[in-house]
């Protein structure tokens, strides 16, 4: 039986759309009676950009859960959201409008406000000496910008630290890339992946809080026999699935699929690895699932693979063939760990040169906010 860390969220913005699963018997972190060590005079000053969005809210939850030390925190968002009140660690904060002057004396800024905002304000923050951890796609493939999953390639951000008076940009990979590489990398280190085929089953949360609300709304509407409201995806999402809503490129792949291809090569520092992907939206609230087929340079027995994955940080194995119990999006919702199962030899390949695995990970947590905060922890 897999055991996850379960998270209690403080009173942030009230939202009905978190889609949090309550798993009976899952272990909880200590509750609110624990002494909070987060607010520390010696800690860095923080800013959260896009704080009222789904990932922005999760940034705060993860900072709280991990007792991230800080001396001050700025809550930044668009002009439309400015003036809202939020409660964080028992203190009230007023959301401020993001401006060119928002980054005076800010050590670390966590950005999740979309690519155009990151492109405009990220470099301005760096000029002020802020280290920006950006969750958008704006800088991921830019030369010289580290693209980091802390369990996979921490060496990419070597030399970037708070207190050196120097700003920097660090990119958070795409959610589907993070979840995929958490499981594929330990096996790649052992036997070298030469080809990877990924099919994704991606949750509403990847398209933001409005998409999560619309999935909930559509579900009610369809069950009541009403026509569904289709503003975000321009189609029925409830009780349906469809090709990922990102733009389709001239080669027939969509942008999401090509992110997986390009980001994997950059993170693994391997331009030769062959990667192909098909990305699908499914009516799930906040956790992605991925079917991954791996072809290796060196043979890897499925039992060895299982042992490797059991020891890998940030993973939990759910692989019970007898009771047909494997990872599900609901089980990993609001959890830090990526779940791995369906570990089996690929019978279409000779010998032990191929493996199939199935992974599920919380798109808002490890796919976005948790990964960014882990990067921030490495800056201290």
The string of DSSP codes covering 50-90 is TTTSHHHHHHHHHHHHTT--BSEEEEEE-TTTTT-EEEETT
List beta partners, residue 61.
none
- DSSP, collapsed to helix, strand or coil, labels residue 93 as strand
For residues 89-108, one letter each, b for 16 or more C-beta atoms within 10 angstroms of the residue's C-beta and e for the rest, the string is: beeebebbebeeebbeebbb
Q: Pairing relation of β-strands 354-362 and 338-345?
A: antiparallel
Q: Specify the DSSP class assigned to residue 234.
A: S
- DSSP, collapsed to helix, strand or coil, labels residue 286 as coil
Which CATH number applies to 45-173+369-379: 3.40.50.10860, 2.60.40.1080, 3.40.50.300, 3.40.50.720?
Answer: 3.40.50.720
CA 327 to chain centre: 17
User: Residues with catalytic annotation?
Assistant: 175, 288
**pLDDT at 204 (0 to 100):** 96
Q: Pairing relation of β-strands 5-6 and 27-28?
A: parallel
Residues in Cβ contact with 156 at an 8 Å cutoff, skipping those fewer than 6 apart: 146, 147, 148, 267
CA distances from 48 to 5, 75, 87, 146, 379 (A): 24, 5, 14, 20, 16
The pTM score is 0.90
Q: Return the CATH number of the domain spanning residue range 176-203+241-361.
A: 3.30.360.10
Task: Determine if residue 93 is left, alpha or beta; phi over 0 gives left, psi from -120 to 50 gives alpha, anything else beta.
Answer: beta
pLDDT tens, per residue, the chain with 380 residues: 566 655 544 434 433 343 333 223 333 333 333 344 577 778 999 999 999 998 999 999 999 999 999 999 999 999 999 999 999 999 999 999 999 999 999 999 999 999 999 999 999 999 999 999 999 999 999 999 999 999 999 999 999 999 988 999 999 999 999 999 999 999 999 999 999 999 999 999 999 889 999 999 999 999 999 999 999 999 999 999 999 999 999 999 999 999 999 999 999 999 999 999 999 999 999 999 999 999 999 999 999 999 999 999 999 999 999 999 999 999 999 999 999 999 999 999 999 999 999 999 999 999 999 999 999 999 99
Q: Pairing relation of β-strands 287-296 and 354-362?
A: antiparallel
Q: What angle do CA 153, 248, 348 make, to 5 degrees?
A: 65
Query: Does 45-173+369-379 match 176-203+241-361 in CATH topology?
Result: no
**pLDDT at 5 (0 to 100):** 55
Long-range contacts of 17-21 (CB under 8 A, 24+ apart): 17/54, 17/209, 17/212, 17/213, 17/216, 17/285, 18/285, 18/286, 18/334, 19/204, 19/205, 19/212, 19/285, 19/286, 19/333, 20/286, 20/333, 20/334, 21/330, 21/331, 21/333, 21/334
Q: Which two tokens stand for residue 307?
A: 């042992």
Q: Please state, rounded to an integer, the average pLDDT across all residues of the chain.
A: 91
Where are the domains positioned within the chain? 45-173+369-379, 176-203+241-361, 209-240
Q: What angle do CA 80, 174, 203 make, to 5 degrees?
A: 75
**pLDDT at 26 (0 to 100):** 34
- DSSP, collapsed to helix, strand or coil, labels residue 313 as coil
Q: Pairing relation of β-strands 287-296 and 242-243?
A: unpaired
């Amino acid at each position: 039986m897999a055991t996850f860390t379960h998270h209690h969220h403080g009173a942030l913005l009230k939202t009905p759309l978190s889609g949090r699963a309550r798993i009976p018997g899952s272990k909880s972190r200590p509750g609110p009676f624990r002494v909070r060590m987060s607010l520390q005079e010696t800690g860095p000053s923080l800013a959260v950009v896009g704080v009222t969005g789904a990932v922005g809210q999760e940034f705060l939850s993860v900072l709280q859960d991990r007792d991230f030390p800080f001396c001050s925190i700025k809550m930044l968002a668009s002009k439309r959201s400015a003036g809202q009140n939020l409660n964080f660690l028992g203190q009230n904060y007023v959301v401020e409008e993001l401006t060119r002057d928002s980054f005076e004396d800010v050590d670390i800024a966590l950005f999740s406000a979309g690519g155009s905002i990151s492109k405009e304000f990220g470099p301005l923050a760096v000029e002020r000496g802020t280290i920006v951890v950006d969750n958008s796609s704006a800088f991921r493939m830019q030369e010289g910008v580290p693209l980091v999953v802390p369990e996979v390639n921490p060496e990419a951000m070597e030399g970037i630290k708070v207190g050196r008076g120097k700003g920097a940009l660090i990119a958070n990979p795409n959610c589907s890339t993070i979840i995929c590489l958490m499981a594929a990398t330990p096996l790649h280190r052992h036997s070298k992946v030469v080809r990877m085929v990924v099919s994704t089953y991606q949750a509403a949360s990847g398209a933001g809080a409005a998409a999560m609300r619309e999935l909930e709304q559509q579900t009610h509407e369809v069950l009541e026999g009403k026509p569904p409201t289709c503003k975000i995806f321009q189609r029925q999402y409830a009780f349906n699935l469809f090709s990922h809503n990102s733009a389709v490129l001239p080669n027939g792949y969509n942008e999401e699929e090509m992110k997986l291809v390009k980001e994997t090569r950059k993170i693994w520092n391997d331009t030769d690895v062959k990667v192909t992907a098909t990305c699908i939206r499914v009516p799930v609230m906040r956790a992605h699932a991925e079917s991954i087929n791996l072809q290796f340079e060196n043979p890897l027995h499925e039992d060895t693979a299982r042992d490797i994955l059991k020891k890998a940080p940030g993973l939990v194995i759910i692989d019970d063939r007898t009771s047909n119990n494997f990872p599900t999006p609901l089980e990993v919702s609001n959890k830090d760990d990526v779940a791995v199962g369906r570990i089996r030899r690929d019978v279409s390949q000779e010998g032990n040169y191929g493996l199939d695995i199935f992974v599920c990970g919380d798109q808002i947590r490890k796919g976005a906010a948790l990964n960014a905060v882990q990067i921030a922890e490495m800056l201290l």
